[in-house]
């Protein structure tokens, strides 16, 4: 009887898993469009996407989705850029991406462009959480996991793009500060040009800007608390694994990482607060709209 019970339980568990994956099977998003006008036979131009960012993104990195959505020409320009992403990537067209910098630039811009495109398709949208999976095992599952996009001829989710094409491929962990997930708590949206030859400068600027914002790093000396963006909790391993001293507590190593990218005034404040309690802010999932 015990054996039958265990077998039935195992069968039920397997059935539950199969149902979960069937209901949450990928939803493939494709575009049927021409490539950007004047798209070169060699390389991969991000120029059309960068012009759109200049037009619709403010100095704080917020996006005027409403105006972008209303502009048929702007939506067409983005759709054509997405068509180029669909057709070419460092995986299926390595000859177009001659350096690691060009490859990294592609993956970052592709991620950011696909987020914007997914939001514009559903505009108006209050939150990325409004894009639901049939079974929401984790927050954002519908938008970041179930929805998939064609990149270089293959379907991939935003989550897999971030992790498999950047982090697991050896990208600097500061790449987290260059990826904008379309929410209020994500790093600001930054254009990365075709000629981004100095990724180190981009990483430094993005990381310093992020930790300098009290919305992401706030020190309360009165209560001896440091409140951090939840991004630091989710990706703590990425931010701390490269440090020499792996024996110290992870949260202490996280503070060391933040100090390594912080401006001088913030380093001084953090040095006074190394014994403080760390707390992580609730994540703001609302769309990072300018209006």
SS3 7: helix
* 285 within domain boundaries: no
Q: What is the tens place of the pLDDT at every residue in 200-256?
A: 999 999 999 999 999 999 999 999 999 999 999 999 999 998 776 766 788 899 999
Largest CA distance in the chain: 72
Q: How far is the C-alpha of 265 from the C-alpha of 287, rounded, in Å?
A: 31
What was the pLDDT predicted at 244?
A: 66
pLDDT-based confidence at 7, cuts 50/70/90?
confident
Q: Please check whether residues 105 and 142 belong to one and the same domain.
A: yes
Q: Could you tell me if 276 and 224 are in contact, meaning their C-beta atoms sit under 8 angstroms apart? A: yes
Q: Please check whether residues 61 and 103 belong to one and the same domain.
A: yes
Task: Indicate the number of domains in the chain.
Answer: 2
Q: What is the tens place of the pLDDT at every residue in 97-129?
A: 999 999 999 999 999 999 999 999 999 999 999
Mean pLDDT of 3-28: 68
Q: For the whole model, what pTM was predicted?
A: 0.92
Q: Please check whether residues 114 and 254 belong to one and the same domain.
A: no
* 261 within domain boundaries: yes
* 203 within domain boundaries: no
DSSP annotation string for 74-129: HHHHHHHHHHHHHH--TTT-GGG--SHHHHHHHHHHHHHHHHHHHHHHT-S-SBGG
pLDDT-based confidence at 2, cuts 50/70/90?
very low
Alpha helices in the chain (DSSP H): 2-23, 47-56, 65-70, 72-87, 100-121, 141, 158-162, 199-212, 230-234, 236-240, 250-261, 264-272
DSSP 34: P
SS3 187: coil
Q: How far is the C-alpha of 226 from the C-alpha of 280, rounded, in Å?
A: 8
Q: How far is the C-alpha of 27 from the C-alpha of 118, rounded, in Å?
A: 12
- The residue from 167, 185, 203 where one domain ends is 185
What was the pLDDT predicted at 1?
A: 46
* 239 within domain boundaries: yes
User: Residue 71 is inside which H or E element, if any?
Assistant: none
Q: Please check whether residues 155 and 41 belong to one and the same domain.
A: yes
Q: Please check whether residues 50 and 144 belong to one and the same domain.
A: yes
Q: Please check whether residues 162 and 222 belong to one and the same domain.
A: no
Q: Please check whether residues 99 and 232 belong to one and the same domain.
A: no
- The residue from 185, 205, 224 where one domain ends is 185
- Where in the sequence is the domain holding 270, given as residue range(s)? 213-280
Report whether pLDDT(3) > 80: no
């Amino acid at each position: 009887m015990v054996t039958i019970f265990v077998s039935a339980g195992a069968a039920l568990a397997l059935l539950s898993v199969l149902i979960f994956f069937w209901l949450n099977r990928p939803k493939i998003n494709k575009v049927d469009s021409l490539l950007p006008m004047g798209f070169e036979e060699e390389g991969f131009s991000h120029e059309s996407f960068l012009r759109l960012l200049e037009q619709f993104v403010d100095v704080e990195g917020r996006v005027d989705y409403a105006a972008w959505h209303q502009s048929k020409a702007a939506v067409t320009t983005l759709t054509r850029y997405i068509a180029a992403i669909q057709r070419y990537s460092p995986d299926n067209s390595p000859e177009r991406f001659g350096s690691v910098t060009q490859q990294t630039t592609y993956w970052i811009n592709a991620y950011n462009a696909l987020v914007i495109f997914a939001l514009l398709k559903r505009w108006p949208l209050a939150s990325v959480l409004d894009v639901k999976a049939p079974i929401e095992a984790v927050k954002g599952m519908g938008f970041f996991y179930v929805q998939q996009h064609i990149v270089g001829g293959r379907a991939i989710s935003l989550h897999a793009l971030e992790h498999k094409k950047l982090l697991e491929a050896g990208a600097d962990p500061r790449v987290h500060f260059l990826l904008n997930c379309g929410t209020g708590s994500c790093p600001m949206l930054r254009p990365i040009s075709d000629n981004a030859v100095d990724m180190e400068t981009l990483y430094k600027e993005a990381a310093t800007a992020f930790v300098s914002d009290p919305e992401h790093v706030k020190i309360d000396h009165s209560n001896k608390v440091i409140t951090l963006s939840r991004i630091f909790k989710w990706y703590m391993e990425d931010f701390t694994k490269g440090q020499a001293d792996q024996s110290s507590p992870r949260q202490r190593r996280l503070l060391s990482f933040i100090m390594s990218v912080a401006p001088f005034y913030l380093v001084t404040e953090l040095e006074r607060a190394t014994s403080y309690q760390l707390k992580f802010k609730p994540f703001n999932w609302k769309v990072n709209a300018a209006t």
